[in-house]
Structure 1
Amino acid sequence: MDQMIDYLLQFGQLNQHQIDLIKSKALLKSIEKDAYYQEAGKIPKEVIFLIKGIMRVCYYNKNGDEITKYFLDEGHFIADIHNFNQGTPSTEYLQAITDCEYVVLSKRSLEELSLTIIGWDAIISKVTAKGLADKINRISPMMAEDAKERYQNFLRDFPTMANRIPLSYLASYLGITQSSLSRIRRGVI
């Protein structure tokens, strides 16, 4: 839980009483590899902070193909923020691709913290802005790169994730087949 508090402190000041209040509202949970934390069609009711492991956001396209949108590892908040805020069903899945441990903050807990901690909304706004910027920076450059560049940039940007992600998920994320990824890896590694 201290990892989450340290992360929040990057975005604003919190005194010990406020930190204790946040900790009292948070729950520590775990999920096994391959299990789905969130499924499409369900309304997100929590925000999580990943302490250990890797999760992926994925969806099914109109042909029924599973597409990996992006990966998240330790030290990140994870939320389907639009659907969470709107109270509408998600269109994406969130799956643990390793065993994961995370901190949960429910919607109600976040609302209570907002009413109790002066400056909480500003902290959450900054956390959300950083998360959205990270998401854009993860996805946008890939549009102009070829498959080899996408793979090399993934290795550069996420060196600790590369060996922890199944090749099928990585290929889906890169927008290529698993056999193409294998050929690229033989030429790059």
Structure 2
Amino acid sequence: MEALINYLLQFSNLNHQQIDLIKAKAIYKETKKDDYVLEAGKIPREIIFLTDGIMRICYFNNKGDEVTKYFFDENNFIADINNYNQNTPATEYIQAIIDCKYISFSKDAMTELSMTIIEWDNIIAKITAKALAEKVNKISPMMVEDAKERYLSFFEKFPKLANRIPLSYLASYLGITQSSLSRIRKNIRL
């Protein structure tokens, strides 16, 4: 819980009563490796803060291939924010890559926090803006890089994730085959 509170305090000051309310609305959850926290076709009903583990956002393309879109590690909020806000079915999956622990906030809890903590909506807006900027800064350069450069960039931008995720997910994220990734890894010593 301390990691969550410290994270929130980066965006605004919170008094003890507000912190106690946040703690009261938080629900600890765990999920096993390969389980889905959110499935396509279902309406997102929670926002989570990952405290331990790695999750990914993935989808199936028009050929039926599974594509990894993004990875999240500890101390990050994860949500399908557009579908959550619009109360519409998700088009992507959120999956645990390894056993995970997280803090969940239901939609009702988020509404109550918004109604009770004056700065809450501003905090959430800042967190969302930061996450979007980080996502763009990590993904945009990959669009013009070749496979080797994308692999090296991944290691630079996600140093804690590189050796904790399956190669098949990493290859999918980089937009290459697993055999191509194996060749690249063989020729590079990190």
Same fold (TM over 0.5): yes
Native 8 Å contact 2:49 2:75 kept in 1: yes
Q: Count residues with an aligned counterpart.
A: 189
Native 8 Å contact 1:57 1:70 kept in 2: yes
1:14 aligned partner: 14
> 3-state DSSP class of the match of 2:125?
helix
2:156 aligned partner: 156
> 3-state DSSP class of the match of 2:160?
coil
One-letter code aligned to 2:65:
D
1:79 aligned partner: 79
> 3-state DSSP class of the match of 2:132?
helix
1:168 aligns with 2:164: no
One-letter code aligned to 1:75:
N
> 3-state DSSP class of the match of 1:126?
helix
- The Cα RMSD (Å) is 0.6
One-letter code aligned to 1:86:
Q
Unaligned runs of 5+ in 2: none
One-letter code aligned to 2:67:
I
Residue by residue over 1:62-98, the C-alpha shift from the partner in whole angstroms, topping out at 9 and shown as x without a partner, is: 0000000010000100000000000000000010001
Measure how far apart 1:157 and its partner are: 1.1
Residue by residue over 1:129-187, the C-alpha shift from the partner in whole angstroms, topping out at 9 and shown as x without a partner, is: 11111222222111011100000011111111111100000000000000000000011
Cα distance in 1 for residues equivalent to 2:146 and 2:113? 45
2:53 aligned partner: 53
1:30 aligned partner: 30
One-letter code aligned to 2:27:
L
> 3-state DSSP class of the match of 1:94?
strand
TM-score of the superposed pair, with normalisation by structure 1: 0.98
One-letter code aligned to 2:90:
S
TM-score of the superposed pair, with normalisation by structure 2: 0.98
> 3-state DSSP class of the match of 1:161?
coil
Native 8 Å contact 1:70 1:138 kept in 2: no
1:112 aligned partner: 112
Runs of 4+ aligned structure 1 residues displaced above 6 Å come to none
Native 8 Å contact 2:45 2:106 kept in 1: yes
Cα distance in 1 for residues equivalent to 2:105 and 2:30? 14
Unaligned runs of 5+ in 1: none
